[in-house]
Structure 1
C-alpha cells in the first residue's frame, strides 16, 4: 500500500533525496555536507540551508545518532491510565521531564504512553516515582527484553509493500535478534560520555560539524570522527543520519500493535514480524501483570487509519498472530518527540 507523502512546498526530487538517502550512512568525514552536495549536484552551502529549512518546518528532527536501546543507560516504555479530564495537565508534567523523549496519547484505557531514558536503572526509577508522586497516576514500566527491528529509518520513495526495502533508507539488514539483560549498559570512559552528551542533540548545520562537536568536549575533529565511527561499527549507534518526523511527511496514522504470546514462541514470531515491510519497529517487552499482559510489540505507520488496519490484519493472518490475545492502540496526539537523552552534564558530573 503506498505511503502518501506530504512534502513541504518547494521540496522536489533533490529535497526528497536529502530526506531519504542519508537517513543512515551519513558521511563521517570532515565536510559531510560537501560530500552530499557532490552527490546531488548542489553547492555545499545550499545543502546546509536546505536541511536548515527542513528542520525549521519540522520535517527533520535532527541529523545525528540513533543510539541502540539500553547500551548507554536505562530506558523503558511506560504508560498511565489518566482520567480524560486531566490528560493535558498530566501530559504536560510528563513532557516537562528531561528524561522523557516521546510522549503520546493512544486509544486505550492506558492512554498516555512515553519513553523514559536515564543514565541508570536507579535514575529511571526516580523519574517514574516523581511522575507518580506529582500526578497521582500509577505508571506501568515495560523494559525492552529483545529487539527484532528498531531503526526508525523511513523509506520515502517506495510503497510500504513489495520493494520497500530496496532504497538506502528502507533496506532491512538481516541480523539476529538481540536479547537484552539488566547489565547491558556500556561503561564508557569519561571523555566518550562527554562526547555522547554533546552528540545527543544532533549535529550543527555548518560546513565542519564534527569539528564544532569535538570542540565542545576538548577533542580534535579527527578523534571525534574516530569515536563516532567506532560506535557505529560496535553497534552503540544504531544508525547515524537524518532523523525525519513521519507525521509531517504524511504518515499521519500509526498504531502500536501488541500480542500476548507464550514465551516459547515470541522470539520466532518477533523475527518473522520484523521482516514485514509494513512494520517500522518490532520488539519484545516485559509484561506488567495483571494490567498489561502483552509482550510482543510492533509499530505500523501509514497515511490513513484504514491502511494501517489493513496491513495489521494481513500480517496477523499470515503469521498466525490472530491466535493470541491482542490490542491495537492508535496514536491520537503527540505531546513530545525528541531524541533520547541518556546522559546529561549534571549526570556526568556525578558519574
Structure 2
C-alpha cells in the first residue's frame, strides 16, 4: 500500500469533486491549501506517476452522452490473462476487472451509440470464443467514486458518517437529466476524456481541442455539471494503490415492484459508492440491484454488507458478494470508440 503525506493527501482529500472552473484552477487550489501553484501541479504529477491519480476530469452520468453497458465473461483460470488482454485491447472498454464469481471477468463498454457497443461486444465474443453477458443500465441511484483517505465506511465515526451523509445528499440522482448534449458539449467531453493537462491554463487546451475558446469551454462544462450530465468533476483516483483492495460489487434479487425503493435507500448510505438497477439474465444471472463498496478490510466490508442488508430489510432476498481481485484496465469513458 502506498502512503501519502503533505500536499498529495490534501489534494486527494479536498479535490475529488467541486474542482475550480476558472482559468487557473491549480492556482486557486494552491491558495486554498496554502501552497504554490507549481507545488500543486507537481504534486498531481507525482500522484499520476505513482499510479494513484487516473486523471483530473469529469465523471459522466451513464447514457447521457453516447452509450455504455456492463458486461461479463466466464473464463477458465488458465485463459484469464489472455482473455483479459483481448478485452482491454478494445478502445471502447474503459474498466476491466477480475471478480470472485463463476462470471469472473467484468468490463464496462462505452461508445458513441448502441451500435458501437454491439460491435465491441460482438468482437469480444468472436475473439475470445466466449458468450458475453450484457447488463445495460436501467436506472442509476448514485454514482460517486470519490472516497475519503481516513478509512472505509465500516470504521467511520459518527461525525464522519454525518459529514459523508451531507455530501451524499448532493450526489443522489433524482430522475433523468432534462436534456441531451449539443455537438459543442460533445466535443468538450471528448477533449476531457483523458483528463485535464497539468499546466497553468488547462481549460484553454480543452477549448482548443473542441474548437472553442477558454471561456466558452468553462461555461459549457459548468452547464454540464449544473444539468447533471457531469456527475463529478475533480481528481479521479485509483483506490487500489491506496490500500482499498477489499472492494466488492454486491448484488441482490429484489422484486421489481420494490427495487427502486430499495435502491434509493441503499444509495443514501455514505459507504455505497455506486448503486444501480440492471436486468436479470436468467438462468445465469438472477440479480437486478447492484451496489459497490470500497474498503481496506474484507471482514469490514462484509460487515457493512450485512448492515446494509438489515437496514434495507432485504435479508430474505438472494444476494452475492463479488470481491475484485485484479484491475486489468481503468480509464475515462471513450465517447468516440
TM-score by length of 1: 0.90
- Which digits, 9 at most, give the CA deviation of each residue in 1:218-250, with x for residues without a partner? 211111101101111111100110111111111
User: Partners in 2 of 1:157 and 1:167 — Cα distance?
Assistant: 13
- Which digits, 9 at most, give the CA deviation of each residue in 1:240-265, with x for residues without a partner? 10111111111111111101110001
SS in 2 for 1:58: coil
- Which digits, 9 at most, give the CA deviation of each residue in 1:166-219, with x for residues without a partner? 558982125765566xxx896533333222111111000010000111122321
Which of 253, 261, 264 is matched with 2:246 structurally?
A: 253
Alignment of 1:272-287 (within 5 A): 272-287=265-280
Which of 214, 220, 225 is matched with 2:207 structurally?
A: 214
User: Partners in 1 of 2:255 and 2:211 — Cα distance?
Assistant: 50
Q: How many residues align?
A: 334
User: Partners in 2 of 1:177 and 1:255 — Cα distance?
Assistant: 21
Q: 1:342 deviation in Å?
A: 2.1
Is 1:47 aligned with 2:40?
yes
Runs of 4+ in structure 1 off by over 4 angstroms are: 165-170, 174-180, 184-187
How large is the RMSD of aligned CA atoms in angstroms? Answer: 2.0
User: Partners in 2 of 1:119 and 1:323 — Cα distance?
Assistant: 40
SS in 1 for 2:159: coil
Change (3 A) 1:209 1:170: farther
Q: 1:279 deviation in Å?
A: 1.4
Is 1:136 aligned with 2:129?
yes
- Which residues of structure 2 form unaligned runs of 5+? none
SS in 1 for 2:270: coil
User: Partners in 2 of 1:178 and 1:123 — Cα distance?
Assistant: 28
- Which residues of structure 1 form unaligned runs of 5+? 1-5, 345-351
Q: 1:32 deviation in Å?
A: 0.3
Contact 2:112 2:335 (8 Å CA) reproduced = yes
Q: 1:15 deviation in Å?
A: 2.3
User: Partners in 2 of 1:272 and 1:168 — Cα distance?
Assistant: 15
Contact 2:280 2:286 (8 Å CA) reproduced = yes
Which of 200, 204, 216 is matched with 1:223 structurally?
A: 216
TM-score by length of 2: 0.93
User: Partners in 1 of 2:165 and 2:91 — Cα distance?
Assistant: 29
Which of 99, 106, 118 is matched with 1:125 structurally?
A: 118
Q: Counterpart in 1 of 2:322?
A: 329
Q: Counterpart in 2 of 1:316?
A: 309
Alignment of 1:168-207 (within 5 A): 171-174=167-170, 177-178=173-174, 188-207=181-200
Contact 1:24 1:239 (8 Å CA) reproduced = yes
User: Partners in 2 of 1:306 and 1:342 — Cα distance?
Assistant: 38
User: Partners in 2 of 1:151 and 1:166 — Cα distance?
Assistant: 17
Q: Counterpart in 2 of 1:89?
A: 82
Is 1:296 aligned with 2:289?
yes
Contact 2:99 2:323 (8 Å CA) reproduced = yes
Change (3 A) 1:173 1:7: farther
